[in-house]
């Protein structure tokens, strides 16, 4: 895992600007740094290295080979298999790094090489032979690739703060994506080419970009799109579970490859538990295996009752941290600086605490269960989409079973009626009654309508079941890419690498080709994974129905100091001056929280984060060094 940056221009680049860019992201690579300049000075590439594979100086970047030079962030997990294939074709290697395999693969197969990679990556390859810069991002978007285009200039980096170090990249931002995110955190910031900053664009998952070094013209296309196998739709449960188990085992096997210590994040759920138990099988009984978990003792958010079953079954060495509201308030400036954009809940702070714990204990690489919920149907709200795809004759029986096991999964008639009201009417009624908890009520009316329209769900594409369409969209466009951004920034803030076995394209292609009943039938979330892990995962964890997620007791935290900070934000004149907020509704929400409506802590979190982001990220960027990208 590393940090990358670069500038290509129609005149000599300012090398100092690239140095400032990589200095801004030094937390991504504390082990080494490097810079490469073209002979004519019109291209400069920079790199910060976190040494994981071939930790020797041979793995230094930028790396050159046969007229190619690359800066690369991430891991190519199947690099050994690719290296053997390339060696059989006559390629020779001088390092044991996956970076050199990337260059050899590109040299042999061109841009078709990206479809051969099983990994997480964001990279740029300067090809002096073809006079192009080729860039690519992995299929799920685990690693970020941000870029800015200005007349006579192309710049890229792993993080916003690096690009915002350039004079040519403006600090202006568009509030609409920000408020779309505040309304529904799966939307607005990560699901489209444009970013919050009009001056900055992003490659989307599975895309590649080619820049002509002479004209600076550029184009983007896809090297991978999700393709389902129609032949898998008739697969039965037993065979499907066996095949998922094999795929997941192989995914874990590949992601255990490392020349530094590897451990796992641990929660009380299926996902991290499955990974830890499979890792134990692959490593053998004698190998020490460190796991890291966050706890919230004395609250319903504490998952230790379940997490300990997995830890004991795996014989793991357990490390625990207890995130608190006081800790969040103390860490808030640095936390928001690291995350670069507002975050959806206190869960992201707890995640950051776990990565810091791993750093304190010398474990550099962590496996994590992110991605299983989106690919395999782990959220209760997916039941509505599952039911929508069933024949009417089957729907009532399934719905009854779902409501019995998951009482909050489906809307009540009253909730459905409320959601069906026109947004402007709902907004008016909330103002009249002083009730409601929808963030839209806290926005200016016209802006609330724009946000609601922009966040309306798209229609189901032809040939897809409602469930498969929702899972695919959440996996590759909306929900999961947001969580992957959190994971990238929070792990990198502590110079840790997080690897996600469920984010393997082979698993997605397989699972989303199956009969939806295998994923969510019989009133079971992640039904297929539960079956696949039978006999491997401890039964109390495998048959745990009430998915919780790694969520701190956010409502309690508001009562422990966050509500005072939220009140300071809302009463600050800058809050009303922004012009977005319905200040009266937020003041009412503060009063209602203090009167006992503690569930409002979840909506009060949003302005707390947005205004905190303006103060602790935007202001800090503006106060930092900003240099011209090109030499005078």
CA angle 466/471/474 to nearest 5° reads 120
Q: For the chain, give the percent of residues with pLDDT over 90.
A: 92
Lowest mean pLDDT: which of 270-284, 549-563, 595-609? Answer: 549-563
CA angle 529/287/361 to nearest 5° reads 90
Average pLDDT of the residues in 564-571: 97
Q: CB of 48 within 8 A of CB of 28? A: yes
- DSSP annotation of 559 reads I
Neighbour tally for 229: CB within 10 Å: 12
Q: Tell me the pLDDT tens digit for each residue of 75-110.
A: 999 999 999 999 999 999 999 999 999 999 999 999
Q: Tell me the pLDDT tens digit for each residue of 241-258.
A: 999 999 999 999 999 999
- The residues, any chain, with a CB within 8 Å of residue 108's CB and separated by 6 or more, are 86, 89, 91
Helices assigned H by DSSP within 319-464: 325-339, 347-360, 372-376, 382-388, 392-405, 413-420, 423-433, 445-454
- Tell me what pLDDT residue 431 has: 66
Is the pLDDT confidence value at 420 over 90?
no
Is the pLDDT confidence value at 162 over 80?
yes
Q: Are strands 290-294 and 317-321 parallel, antiparallel or unpaired?
A: parallel
Q: What are phi and psi of 222, to 5 degrees?
A: -100, 135
Is the pLDDT confidence value at 427 over 80?
no
Average pLDDT of the residues in 313-323: 98
Average pLDDT of the residues in 619-626: 95
- Tell me what pLDDT residue 413 has: 82
Q: Could you give all domains of the chain from N- to C-terminal order, each with its CATH number?
A: 2-164+200-225 (3.60.20.10), 237-377+461-542 (3.40.50.620)
Type and span of the H or E element at 576: helix 573-577
Average pLDDT across the chain, whole number: 95
Average pLDDT of the residues in 146-151: 98
Q: pLDDT confidence of 432, banded at 50, 70, 90?
A: low
- The residues, any chain, with a CB within 8 Å of residue 594's CB and separated by 6 or more, are 563
DSSP per residue over 64-100, as a string? EETTEEEEEEEEETTHHHHHHHHHHTT---S-S-HHH
Q: What are phi and psi of 495, to 5 degrees?
A: 55, 45
Q: CB of 65 within 8 A of CB of 104? A: yes
Is the pLDDT confidence value at 118 over 70?
yes
SS3 489: helix
Going by C-alpha positions, the residue among 103, 5, 12, 494 that lies closest to residue 265 is: 494
Is the pLDDT confidence value at 358 over 90?
yes
Is the pLDDT confidence value at 362 over 90?
yes
Q: CB of 261 within 8 A of CB of 551? A: no
């Amino acid at each position: 895992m590393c940090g990358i940056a670069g500038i290509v221009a129609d005149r000599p680049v300012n090398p100092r600007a690239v140095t400032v860019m990589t200095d801004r992201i030094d937390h991504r690579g504390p082990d080494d740094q490097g810079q490469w300049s073209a002979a004519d000075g019109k291209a400069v590439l920079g790199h910060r290295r976190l040494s994981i594979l071939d930790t020797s100086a041979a793995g230094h970047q930028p790396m050159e080979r046969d007229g190619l030079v690359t800066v690369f962030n991430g891991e190519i997990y199947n690099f050994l298999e690719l290296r053997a294939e390339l060696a059989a074709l006559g390629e020779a290697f001088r390092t044991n790094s996956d970076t050199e395999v990337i260059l050899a693969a590109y040299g042999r197969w061109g841009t078709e090489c990206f479809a051969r990679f099983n990994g997480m990556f964001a990279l740029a390859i300067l090809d002096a032979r073809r006079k192009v810069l080729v860039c690519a991002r992995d299929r799920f978007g685990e690693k970020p690739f941000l870029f800015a285009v200005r007349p006579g200039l192309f710049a890229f980096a792993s993080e916003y703060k690096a690009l915002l170090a350039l004079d040519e990249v403006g600090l202006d931002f568009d509030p609409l994506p920000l408020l779309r995110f505040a309304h529904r955190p799966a939307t607005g910031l990560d699901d489209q080419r444009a970013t919050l900053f009009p001056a900055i664009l992003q490659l989307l998952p599975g895309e590649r970009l080619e820049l002509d070094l002479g004209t600076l013209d550029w184009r983007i296309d896809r090297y991978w799109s999700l393709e389902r196998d129609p032949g898998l739709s008739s697969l039965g449960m037993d065979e499907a579970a066996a095949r998922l188990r094999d795929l997941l085992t192989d995914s874990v096997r590949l992601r255990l490859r490392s020349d530094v210590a590897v451990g796992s994040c641990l929660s009380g759920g299926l996902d991290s538990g499955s990974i830890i138990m499979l890792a134990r099988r692959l490593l053998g009984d004698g190998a020490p295996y460190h796991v890291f978990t966050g706890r919230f003792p004395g609250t319903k958010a504490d998952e230790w009752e379940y997490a300990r079953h997995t830890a004991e079954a795996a014989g793991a060495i357990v490390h625990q941290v207890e995130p608190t509201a006081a800790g969040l308030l103390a860490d808030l400036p640095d936390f928001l600086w690291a995350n670069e954009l507002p975050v959806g809940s206190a869960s992201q702070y707890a995640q950051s605490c776990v990565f810091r714990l791993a750093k304190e204990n010398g474990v550099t690489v962590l496996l994590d269960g992110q991605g299983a919920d989106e690919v395999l149907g782990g959220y209760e709200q997916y039941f509505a989409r599952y039911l929508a795809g069933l024949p009417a004759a089957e729907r009532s029986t399934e719905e009854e079973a779902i409501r019995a096991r998951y009482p909050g999964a489906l809307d009540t008639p009253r909730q459905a009626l409320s959601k069906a009201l026109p947004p402007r009417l709902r907004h008016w009624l909330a103002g009249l009654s002083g009730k409601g908890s929808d963030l839209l009520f806290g926005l200016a009316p016209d802006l609330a309508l724009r946000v609601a329209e922009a966040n309306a769900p798209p229609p189901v594409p032809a040939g897809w079941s409602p469930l498969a369409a929702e899972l695919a969209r959440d996996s590759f466009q909306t929900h999961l890419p947001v969580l992957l951004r959190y994971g990238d920034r929070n792990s990198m803030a502590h110079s840790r690498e997080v690897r996600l076995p469920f984010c393997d394209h082979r698993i997605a292609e397989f699972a989303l080709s199956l009969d939806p009943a295998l994923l969510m039938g019989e009133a079971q979330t992640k039904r297929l994974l539960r079956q696949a892990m039978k006999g491997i995962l401890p039964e109390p964890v495998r048959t745990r129905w009430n998915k919780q997620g790694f969520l701190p007791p956010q409502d309690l935290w508001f009562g422990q100091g966050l509500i005072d900070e939220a009140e300071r934000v809302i009463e600050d004149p800058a809050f009303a001056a922004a012009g977005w907020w319905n200040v009266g509704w937020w003041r009412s929400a503060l009063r209602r929280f203090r009167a006992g409506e503690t569930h409002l802590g979840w909506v009060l979190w949003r302005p707390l984060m947005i205004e905190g982001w303006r103060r602790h990220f935007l202001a800090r960027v503006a106060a930092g060094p900003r240099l011209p990208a090109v030499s005078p």
